[in-house]
Amino acid sequence: MSAKLKNPPVFYTLGLIKFNAVLNMQDFIAKIQSDLRNEYPDFSKDFTTEVKIQMQGPGKVPSVNTVATERWNFKNAATTAGFSVTASSVLFHTTAYEDSAHFIKSMLHGLSVVHAHVGLAFIESVAIRVLDAVIPSPNEDLDVYLQAGALGLRKAMDGKLQQAISQAIFDTPAGQASSSTVLVTGKLGFPSDLLPMTLKLNKHFAAVRLHAILDNQCQKIERVSIDLAKIESLIRAVKAQTKQAFESSITKKALQIWS
């Protein structure tokens, strides 16, 4: 299943690289924007929240704090792709996925731009998340596209299914991988942890009936010096793991339809 699909079901893809914290990142944003402005002219700044859990010691209740993190966003004019930079990460995300080569190149480009102005010491982790929308036509059933394991217990009860969720988490050589399938009746399902959505979704993926969202992600936690060749190798391994999870969920017939 390695051939490029002509009509892939992917509708949102994210690639995140975390690096050593740069507390004065705001001082470098103007230079970073200068390098990204031609292709990503839409600039904005906002805040994202992170939940941090700190262990207090044996027998003590851990402290849980919500921390607001400043984030600088650079999007293309069509708002279908962009970068988000924080003091400790660079994210590339797109709703107009082309192929692995272009996606990985974009992730490395974002890291290279930040490194050129900041002078990073190392990266901490690489993560990729891919969302696919499996929307059958009115006269088709989801089992045309998905393996039985991905469909879960959708026919276990009488009545109209509103939502069903199945998930598996694995420790793999490429990192910790998570594969989820969400069945939803109605509008296109979208993970709440990714809201608000700042990019424009492709209208091709509009859904009004029962459909499935495949949510595959993998994260590799490993401290690596800024060696782009080695970092690219990590990214490729992580991306291959998300692809394996996707291919394990779909049928041969689905592959024919999307090819």
**Could you tell me the end-to-end alpha-carbon distance of the chain, in angstroms, rounded to an integer?**
10
Is residue 89 within 8 Å of residue 17, measured between CB atoms?
yes
Tens digits of per-residue pLDDT, 69-114?
899 999 999 999 999 999 999 999 999 999 999 999 999 999 999 9
Task: Tell me: pLDDT of 163 over 70.
Answer: yes
* 150 touches 181 (CB < 8 A): yes
CB atoms within 10 A of CB 148: 8
Band of pLDDT at residue 157, cut at 50, 70 and 90: confident
Mean pLDDT, rounded, of the chain: 93
Return the number of other C-beta atoms located less than 10 Å from residue 141's C-beta: 10
Give the tens place of pLDDT for each residue, 238-248. 999 999 999 99
* Weakest mean pLDDT among 160-169, 208-217, 220-229: 160-169
Does residue 2 have a pLDDT over 60? no
Q: Is the pLDDT of residue 1 over 60?
A: no
pLDDT in tens, 169-199: 999 999 999 999 999 999 999 999 998 999 9
- CB neighbours of 2 closer than 8 A, spacing ≥ 6? none
Taking residue 63's Cβ as centre, other Cβ atoms within 10 Å add up to 10
Q: If residue 4 lies in a helix (H) or strand (E), which one and from where to where?
A: none
* Beta strands, E only, 118-243: 122-134, 163-172, 175-185, 210-225
pLDDT band at 4 (very low <50, low <70, confident <90, very high): confident
pLDDT more than 70, % of the chain: 93
